[in-house]
Amino acid sequence: MNHATLASPPRRLRADAARNQQRIIAAARELFADHGLEITLDDVAERAGVGVGTVYRRFANKKELIGKVFDQSLSDFADAADTACRNPDPWFGLVELFEYACRHIATNRGFSEIVLELEDDETDRFAIVRDRIKPAVTSLCARARDAGVLAEGIEPPDFFALVHMVDGVAEFARPVNPEVWQRYMAIALNGVRADGTPRRDLAVPPLSDEEFEQAKQHLSCSGRRKIAEPR
């Protein structure tokens, strides 16, 4: 007899356990977005309104919870990269992915750290997703360069560095102007565009002097978060 064929399917969670799991994931998603990956499971339990033991019954450790929260986000990022590669216009394909990356990274500290900062040995489960994104960026840059719309000398690693730069502006300005990162995204794109082609409008105004000073004060009070070397 083949006992493998008699194995029971995974037991479904009870309704209350399933609700608790969804509350935990939702709470973690909010906390990671606002505060990055340094939050604790105690923080998640408090935000979710459950005991910390309940969190540990659902997730053995924070790494497992990070995986649950960000697996879909990274899969969506890879899908966006594939979609951008299918854009028939070489420049707009590159812009499409750059805008997607900036929007999702600049508005979510946890996602920013997953994509740009975690050490490789901590994110093996995400390697296959990154292996889809990086080749897509290489292809997009090559197409744009061959079409004469990307400035000479701009390479795929510059894409990620520029996203990181926009993310830095977003973090600095977030307490006083959470949308101003869009202005610097446009400036970055204009900077890598080949001469003789239309530039993007700077639709978002710069930080005012008052906002700039408020952002500096907030940064000095909260402390700078560590930025790991890009890989």
Note the pLDDT of residue 223: 54
**Domain 67-222 is found in CATH 1.10.357:** yes
User: What predicted TM-score, i.e. pTM, was given to this entire model?
Assistant: 0.75
Residue among 109, 123, 115 at smallest CA distance from 97: 115
Question: CA-CA distance, 109 to 224, in Å (whole number)?
Answer: 13
Residue-wise pLDDT for 41-54, tens only, equals: 999 999 999 998 99
Task: Report residue 231's pLDDT band, with 50, 70 and 90 as the boundaries.
Answer: very low
CATH number of 13-60: 1.10.10.60
Note the pLDDT of residue 16: 75
The length of the chain, given as a count of residues: 231
Residue-wise pLDDT for 195-205, tens only, equals: 766 667 777 88
Note the pLDDT of residue 204: 81
Note the pLDDT of residue 7: 45
Question: CA-CA distance, 54 to 35, in Å (whole number)?
Answer: 22
Task: Report residue 208's pLDDT band, with 50, 70 and 90 as the boundaries.
Answer: confident
In order, the DSSP letters of 78-134 are: HHHHHHHHT-SSHHHHHHHHHHHHHHHHHT-HHHHHHHHTS-GGG-GGGHHHHHHHH
Question: CA-CA distance, 209 to 215, in Å (whole number)?
Answer: 10
By percentage, how much of the chain surpasses pLDDT 70? 81
Residues 109-131 have a mean pLDDT of 69
Question: CA-CA distance, 61 to 105, in Å (whole number)?
Answer: 24
Candidate from 70-74, 109-113, 212-216 with smallest mean pLDDT: 212-216
* Rg of the chain on CA atoms, in Å: 21
Residues 61-89 have a mean pLDDT of 91
Note the pLDDT of residue 4: 44
Note the pLDDT of residue 198: 66
Looking at the chain, which residues constitute the CATH 1.10.357 domain(s)?
67-222
Instruction: Return the C-alpha torsion angle 185, 190, 193, 199, nearest 10.
Output: 120
Task: Report residue 65's pLDDT band, with 50, 70 and 90 as the boundaries.
Answer: very high
Q: What is the 3-state secondary structure (H, E, C) of 196-219?
A: CCCCCCCCCCCCCHHHHHHHHHHH
Question: Mean pLDDT over all residues of the chain?
Answer: 82
Note the pLDDT of residue 175: 87
pLDDT at 228 over 50: no
Which residues is 227 bridged to in the sheet? none
pLDDT at 217 over 60: yes
Residue-wise pLDDT for 172-186, tens only, equals: 898 899 899 999 999
CB 218, CB 175: distance < 8 Å: yes
Question: CA-CA distance, 79 to 102, in Å (whole number)?
Answer: 15
What is each CA distance from 93 to 26, 98, 103, 199, in whole angstroms?
Answer: 32, 9, 16, 15
Looking at the chain, which residues constitute the CATH 1.10.10.60 domain(s)?
13-60
